[in-house]
Amino acid sequence: MPRCRSCDSFVTADFARVFGDNEHEVHACPHCCTQTNLMAGRGPDRSRERAPPVG
């Protein structure tokens, strides 16, 4: 069962075949990445994540 290496969400075998690398490893999925970034071959935009609260 393929899983996203970024967020550990389940992805289908077809998704892994299309969006994964040559070994069908998925480094980003719709749960952790925008469709625009997926289609462009980019991973999740980590700059948009919220920083943990201080204190």
At 4, the pLDDT band (50, 70, 90 cuts) reads very high
Question: What CA–CA distances, in Å, run from 49 to 21, 44, 45, 52?
Answer: 24, 10, 8, 9
pLDDT of residue 13: 95
21 pLDDT more than 80: yes
Average pLDDT of span 36-52? 71
Residues near 2 by Cβ (< 8 Å), separated by ≥ 6? Answer: 10, 11, 12, 13, 15, 16, 20, 24, 26
Average pLDDT of span 1-30? 91
Specify the pTM: 0.71
Distance CA 37, CA 23 (A): 20
The residue whose two tokens read 């625009």 is 36
Average pLDDT of span 19-32? 90
Contact of 19 with 8, CB cutoff 8 Å = no
